[in-house]
Amino acid sequence: MPSPTLLTVTSTEQLTPHLVRVHFTGDLAHFAESSETDRYVKLIFKQPGVDYPEPLDMKALRATLPADQLPVVRTYTVRTLDVAAGSLSIDFVVHGDDGVAGPWAAAAATGDELLANGPGGGYAPRAEADWHLLACDEAGLPAVAAAIDALPDDAVARVLVEVAGEDDVIELDEGANVEVTWLLRGAPSHDVPDERAGRNAPLVQAVRDLEWLPGTVQVFVHGEAAAVMHGIRPFLFTERGLAREAVSISRYWRRGRTEEGFREWKQELARAEG
Ligand SMILES: Cc1cc2nc3c(=O)[nH]c(=O)nc-3n(C[C@H](O)[C@H](O)[C@H](O)COP(=O)(O)OP(=O)(O)OC[C@H]3O[C@@H](n4cnc5c(N)ncnc54)[C@H](O)[C@@H]3O)c2cc1C
């Protein structure tokens, strides 16, 4: 396994009240091999006061250190990348004081450093699709925005984005046949009342209500676990009968769970389902 990449903050931009873009520099040569638009990295947050052997190897550390001394790992989409210039940016949802990565990003300053493993990825828009459906909340927005950037000029796309309010709407690089609908839930993602969350999230209803276009569709849906996996996934596969390879769908975060709590929950679920 290659050593993690050192990323150094060069600047930050407050894109909206709940989204901060952090620009980094680093040696990104190996990122040239990845072409997925949902390209992501595993950011490594060291625990203060713990001396880690260099180069940092998460697998080795997991085998030797107690859980409370392990670095915290969080997954984030690479929003923009310039390998030659050695620069990339990540858009972080600022979701209050809970967690590690969100609060880190809210306070990030020039010169701050992080380690990153990756990149990984699994999706890029296919030119042969007749149309594209892209749906997300704030956490999935960086990947959706990167997908829109990569669409051919004549691509047909319907884009559904759920955000807190009008101030959370950002500019997207829309082509002539790309229609973006912003769904305002009326509260930040960490503070949304139960009746507007999960299966009741505006994104779920919007996907169900979307006018389906003729021809083959390629779908990309990522966001909060309950909305995506319980609200939207059954609709796409059971009601719309889409083929697995036509759909990229996953949970990017889960209400009330940290990323490692969420990982444990997924493992338990997989074990229970055999
Ligand atoms: C492939 C992939 C790509 C991703 N890309 C991005 C990205 O580009 N930008 C981005 O912001 N996120 C992205 N995420 C989601 C991000 O990894 C999670 O939101 C992560 O849990 C944030 O870590 P944290 O330390 O801030 O909070 P955690 O410590 O994991 O959680 C603390 C608390 O905050 C809540 N929480 C976590 N995330 C959110 C949120 N988005 N909104 C409201 N409450 C939240 C949790 O439910 C928990 O209660 C991605 C996830 C995956 C799997």
pLDDT digits (tens, 9 = 90+) for 161-170: 999 999 999 9
Q: Of the ranges 43-47, 190-194, 220-224, 247-251, which one carries the lowest mean pLDDT score? A: 190-194
Residue 123 CB less than 6 A away from ligand 1: no
Nearest CA to ligand 1 atom 4: 76
pLDDT value, residue 34: 93
Q: DSSP secondary-structure letter at 193?
A: -
State the CATH architecture for 131-253: 3-Layer(aba) Sandwich (3.40)
Ligand 1 atom closest to Cα of residue 79: 8
Residue 102 CB less than 6 A away from ligand 1: yes
Residue 229: other Cβ atoms inside 10 A: 18
Nearest CA to ligand 1 atom 22: 101
Determine the distance separating the centroid of ligand 1 and the alpha carbon of 140, expressed in angstroms: 10
Predicted confidence band at 267 (pLDDT cuts at 50, 70, 90)?
confident
pLDDT(143) > 90: yes
Residue 74 CB less than 6 A away from ligand 1: yes
Determine the distance separating the centroid of ligand 1 and the alpha carbon of 250, expressed in angstroms: 13
Q: Under a CB-based contact definition with an 8 Å cutoff, are residues 226 and 254 in contact? A: yes
pLDDT value, residue 259: 85
What mean pLDDT do residues 192-211 have?
93
Where in the chain are all domains bearing CATH 2.40.30.10? 5-120
Q: Under a CB-based contact definition with an 8 Å cutoff, are residues 180 and 133 in contact? A: no
pLDDT(210) > 70: yes
Element (H, E) at 106: helix 101-107
pLDDT(262) > 80: no
Residue 46 CB less than 6 A away from ligand 1: no
Residue 77 CB less than 6 A away from ligand 1: yes
Determine the distance separating the centroid of ligand 1 and the alpha carbon of 130, expressed in angstroms: 32
Closest among 243, 234, 220, 235 to 126, alpha carbons compared: 220
User: Which residues touch 31 (CB under 8 Å, ≥6 apart)?
Assistant: 39, 78, 81, 83, 88, 119
Determine the distance separating the centroid of ligand 1 and the alpha carbon of 42, expressed in angstroms: 12
SS3 271: helix
pLDDT(1) > 70: no
CATH topology of domain 5-120: Elongation Factor Tu (Ef-tu); domain 3 (2.40.30)
Q: Of the ranges 47-51, 101-105, 146-150, 261-265, which one carries the lowest mean pLDDT score? A: 261-265
pLDDT(74) > 90: yes
Backbone dihedral angles phi then psi of residue 88, each to the nearest 5 degrees: -145, 160
Predicted confidence band at 101 (pLDDT cuts at 50, 70, 90)?
very high
pTM: 0.96
pLDDT(71) > 70: yes
Residue 142 CB less than 6 A away from ligand 1: yes
Mutate to test the pocket of ligand 1, among 24, 45, 93, 94 (most ligand atoms within 8 A of CB): 93
Determine the distance separating the centroid of ligand 1 and the alpha carbon of 177, expressed in angstroms: 31
**Which pairing describes strands 247-253 and 157-163: parallel, antiparallel, or unpaired?**
unpaired
Where in the chain are all domains bearing CATH 3.40.50.80? 131-253
Return the percent helix, strand and coil in the chain, to nearest 5. 30, 30, 40
What mean pLDDT do residues 184-212 have?
93
